Amino acid sequence: MLPAEAKEKLVRRMGPRGYLDRPEDLKLYEYDGSVDKALPDLVVFPRSTEDVVAIVRIAAEYGVPVTGRGAGTGLSGGSIPRLGGVVVGFSRMNRILEIDLENERAVVEPGVVNLDLTLAVQDRSYFYAPDPSSQKACTIGGNVAENAGGPHTLAYGVTTNHVLGLEAVLPDGSVIWTGGKEPDLPGYDLTGLLTGSEGTMALITKAVVRLMRQPEMVKTCLAIYESPEDAGRTVTEITARNITPVALEMLDGVMLRMVEEATHAGYPMDAGAVLLIELEGLREAVEEQVEQIREACAACRAREFRVARTAGERDLLWKGRKNAFGAIGRVSPTFYVQDGVVPRTKIAPTLRFIGEVSSKYGLTISNIFHAGDGNMHPIILFDARKPGDLDKARRAGEEILEYCIQAGGSITGEHGVGMEKNEMMSRLFSEETLDAIRALKDVFDPGNLFNPGKVLPTGKGCLEIRQPALTAAGPVY
Amino acid sequence: MSVLTPSSPEELAALLGGAASQRQSVALGGRCSKRRMAGAVAPSDLTISTSAMDRVLVYEPQDLTISVQSGMPWCRLASTLADNRQMIPLDPPFFAEATVGGVVAANTSGPRRRLYGTARDFVIGMQFASLEGKLVQSGGMVVKNVAGLDMAKLLIGSFGTLAAIAVVNFKTVPMPPRERTFLLSFHSAPEAVKARDRILAGALQPAALDLLNPAAASRVEQQGWVLALDVGGNAAVLERYARELRNVGRWTALDEPEHSSFWQQVRDFTPRFLESHPEGAVVRLSTTLSQLREVVEAMPAPALARAGSGVCYGYFTDAAAASAWLAQAGKRSWKAIMEFAPENRAHLELWPQPGNDLETFERIKRLFDPHGLVNRGRLYNRI
C-alpha cells in the first residue's frame, strides 16, 4: 500500500507527466514476459539519478516497496511489484551518455535498449556482445539486474562479463560508483555482486559496458537430424574436438514446424531436430572450423549440413530462432517456458527425460535452447481455459527443473529467479547459503523495500501472493 | 606459531567457526607465495592454511568445467587441464607456488587477459567457509547460472578478508592448436602505442598485448619499447599475423620453446623483481587504453603494461620512491595502488585514494566478520 502522503510527495516530485496512477494505466505494469501478475500503486518515470534518489528517499521514509522496470520483457517476474508499491520505470533514462571506442567502452543509462547500443556503434565495426532474444526491446538496466544471456554468450559470456562499472542508488538513497572504465580496481567487486541481484539491492542508474570489435568473418551453419538426441550428442562431440562456436542453438522437431510455418526461414519440416551453429573470427580460422564442425555433425548422424551462403540467409535462420516464441502463439494459446541448465554432456538424457514428462502429463513440450552451454528452454504448451491444464504445466516444469538440479545443473541460466522460481531455491541451495544471500541483501536493504518477494524463498504464508494468471509470453530467448 | 592445515572444507569451516566463536584472530592463506602483496596481515592468534586441501573434485573434460579444492597448487591445475589440451589462461605470477584459492583471492592475472579475461570471467562456482563455521555455495558447475547472488564475485580479490575459499569451480577453454610470440621494438612510447592502436583497430585478436618500457625490456633480454603479442591459431592464422604485422613494424617471432620461456619471464617478472629487491615495491595503475601512453611514459622505473587491457605495473627499488610516485599519480587523478611492498609495510599508504564505495566494502566486511578477526589489514591496509 502507498500512503496518500507518500503518493502526494512522489507525484509532486515527478510532475504531471512523470507518473501514472490511473487503474487502466497501472494495469499495463502488472506483468512482464512471465506468468505472474501484481498491480503497482504508482508508476514513476525518473529522468535522472537525482530523480531516482528522491523517489527512493520518499519510499524509504514511508516504507513503500520499490521495484525497478526496464521494458518488462523479463521471464521470471523480476519487474513485477509483488507487494505493490512504486514501480520505477526507466524508459525516460534512455540515453547513451558516451561512446568511447578508443577505450572500447560505452556509458549508458539503464533504459537504453540493448540493440540500440550495437546499432549506435556497428557502422564503426563494434558491437555490444550480450544478445538476449528480446534485444530489440529489453533494456541494459534490466539485463544488468537479471544478468541476461543470449545465444552468443556461449563464446562472449553473459552480461556480467561485459559490465565494468555501475552507478547505483542504494535503498537509503545514497549513490555509489562501483568499478569504472579502468580494470582491476582494488576492493570487493560490487559491480559483479549487483549484476544479477534482480533489483533487490540497488537501482542501477548508469552502467559502463564493454564494446567489442566485430569479427572479420561470420559463418552460420544448419545441421539437420532425425533425432534430438543425436543433435544433443553433437554438442559434446564439438567440445571433444576443441572447437568453440560463438553460438550453438538447438530446435527440436515440434519447434521447427511451428517456426517454419510462421517465418519460412528454410528449416526442414520433417526433421527431428536442427542445430544452428555460428562461427566467428579470422577468415583462416573460421573456414577450417566449418569443416571440423561438418565432420563432428556427420559423426553424430546429421542427415544434412548447410552453410548460409549470404547475409540474407543467415539473417533468416536467426529470425526463425529469435522470433520462435511468436510462432508458438499461432499453435497454442498459452505456454510456459523453463530455463534450467545441465552440464553439456547431459543434454541428450535431459531431452529424453523431457519427452517422458511430456507423455506423463499429456502436454506437448517443445525445445529451443542454447545447447552449447546446456541452457535448456523446454516450452510447455497448454490451454489455460482447460481446467487443470495450468496446474499440470507447472508440475511438469518443476519436474524438469528438479531433473536439472539432480543432473548437477541449475534452475536458471539467464532468466533469473524472480518470483517464478524463488521457492525452488531451497532445492538448489542449502539453508546456510540462503541465509548468506539474505544477510547480504540486508546489508544493502535492511527494510526489505527493494523488489521484495524475489530470489529468496518466501515460505508459505509470509507474503500475500496474488493468484497468478497465465498468459502467452512475448518474445523469449 | 603453528599452522593449522584442514584437509576438507568441513574441517576448514569448523576451524574458522571455532576460532571466531572464541574471538581469536586468524591469518588465512594458501601457501603464502604472495606475502608481499597488498597489506600484511596483522599479528593473529591462529594461522590457517588451505594447502592440505588440494584435490580435484570433478573434472569432466567434455563439459569444459573443473572443480578443485582451494589449496591445489595452480601449476598442478594447469597441468591437469593441459593433459586434455584445456586451460584457464590466467597466467598468474608465482605460478609454481601459488594455490588456486590464493590466485582467486588475490585476483592475480597475466598477459592473456586481453582475450580471455580474469578470474571473474572463469569462476562459475565457489564454496566458502564463513566465520560462523558454515559452508556457503555460490553458483555451481554449469557455465551459465543466475540462481542467487553471485557471491563468488565478492570473494575474488577479497584477500581472505571475508571468508575462506574452500572449493572453486572454473570453466575451461580449449588450448589453441599453436601459439607464437611476435615482438616489435620501437624507439619511443608514442610509436609503440600507435602500433598497438593499429593492431586493436584491425581484425587480429592477439591473446596478449604487453608493452614494456626499455628498462623492463632489458630484463627480458629485449631492447627499446617492446610490444609483445601472444597469438594462437592454426598455421594459416599465424601466417596471417606475420603478414599483417609487417605493416605495423619490424617483428621477431618466437616459436616453442622460446615462446613459452619468454612468457614465463613476463609472468614471473614481479616475483623475480621482488626476490632481488627486498625493499622494492610494485605499483599498479588501472587506466584506460587511451591514457596508457601517458602513464607508461611517466613511469621512472621499469614498466610492464597490459597494453590491451589498461593495467600498468611499475617496479621501484624502494618503497619510498613508490610512495612519492603514487602521490604524484594521485594528483593527476590516476587510479593507482602499491600492489607489492616490503615485508614491513604497515606504515605505508598502499591504497591512497579509495572510491566512494569503500563504506559499502566496510559494511560487507562487518557482515562477514563483525569483530574484524580474519586477515586484518590484508586489503591494502584499509580492511
Query: Complex ipTM, two decimals?
Result: 0.98
B 341-360 residues inside an 8 A Cβ radius of A? 351, 354-358, 360
Is some CB atom of chain B closer than 8 A to the CB atom of A149? yes
Residue A274: strand pairing partners = A224, A251
Is some CB atom of chain B closer than 8 A to the CB atom of A411? yes
In a 3-state reduction of DSSP, which class is residue A203?
A: strand
What are the distances in angstroms from CA A433 to CA A192, A199, A409?
A: 18, 19, 17
Question: Using one digit for the tens of pLDDT, what is the confidence trace for A90-149?
Answer: 999 999 999 999 999 999 999 999 999 999 999 999 999 999 989 999 999 999 999 999
Residue A273 predicted with pLDDT over 80: yes
> Which of these, B140, B187, B135, lies nearest to B16 by C-alpha position?
B135
Is some CB atom of chain A closer than 8 A to the CB atom of B237? yes
* Ordered structural domains, chain A, with CATH: 96-213 (3.30.465.10), 217-326 (3.30.70.2190), 332-422 (3.30.70.2740)
pLDDT value for B1: 65
Best A159, A369, A410 residue to mutate vs chain B (most B CBs within 10 Å): A410
pLDDT band at A322 (very low <50, low <70, confident <90, very high): confident
For A230-235, what is the mean pLDDT? Answer: 95
Residue B353 predicted with pLDDT over 80: yes
Contact yes or no for B150 and A195 at CB 8 A: yes
Cβ neighbours of B130 in A, within 8 Å: 432, 436
Contact yes or no for A432 and B145 at CB 8 A: no
Contact yes or no for B117 and A158 at CB 8 A: no
A 359-388 residues inside an 8 A Cβ radius of B? 370, 373-375
Residues A215-227: b if buried by 16+ CB within 10 A, e if exposed: bbebbbbbbbbeb
Q: Which residue of A has its CA nearest to B236?
A: A284
For A344-364, what is the mean pLDDT? Answer: 95
Q: Which residue of A has its CA nearest to B60?
A: A345
pLDDT value for B12: 98
The mean of the pLDDT values for chain A is 93
pLDDT value for A320: 84
Cβ neighbourhood burial of A423 (10 Å; 0-12, 13-18, 19+): middle
Q: What residue ranges do the domains of chain B occupy?
A: 3-174, 178-267, 269-340
CA A195 to chain centre: 13
Contact yes or no for B174 and A243 at CB 8 A: yes
Q: Which residue of A has its CA nearest to B155?
A: A188
pLDDT value for A477: 39
Residue A160 predicted with pLDDT over 70: yes
pTM here is 0.96
* Residue that is written with C-alpha cell 572443480 in the block: B67
Best B58, B134, B144 residue to mutate vs chain A (most A CBs within 10 Å): B144
CATH number of B3-174: 3.40.50.1100, 3.30.465.10, 2.40.110.10, 3.40.1180.10? Answer: 3.30.465.10
Residue A26 and residue A185: Cα distance in Å, rounded? 42
Residue A460 predicted with pLDDT over 70: no
Contact yes or no for A186 and B138 at CB 8 A: no
Listed in sequence order, the residues at least 6 apart from A408 whose beta carbon sits closer than 8 Å to its beta carbon are A342, A343, A346, B140, B141, B142
pLDDT value for B52: 98
| Cis amide linkage into residue A268, ω under 30° from 0 | no
Is some CB atom of chain B closer than 8 A to the CB atom of A183? yes
For A176-180, what is the mean pLDDT? Answer: 97
Listed in sequence order, the residues at least 6 apart from B73 whose beta carbon sits closer than 8 Å to its beta carbon are B31, B54, B96, B97, B98, B99, B100
Contact yes or no for B233 and A417 at CB 8 A: no
CATH class of B178-267: alpha beta
Is some CB atom of chain A closer than 8 A to the CB atom of B154? yes
The mean of the pLDDT values for chain B is 97
Task: Give the Cβ contact number of residue B257 at 10 Å.
Answer: 9
Could you tell me if A253 and A271 are in contact, meaning their C-beta atoms sit under 8 angstroms apart? yes
Nearest neighbour of A285 by CB, restricted to B65, B237, B355: B237
A 341-360 residues inside an 8 A Cβ radius of B? 341-345
pLDDT value for A245: 96
Q: 3-class secondary structure for A412-438?
A: CCCCCCCCCCHHHHHHHCCHHHHHHHH
pLDDT band at A332 (very low <50, low <70, confident <90, very high): confident
Nearest neighbour of B286 by CB, restricted to A100, A183, A193: A183
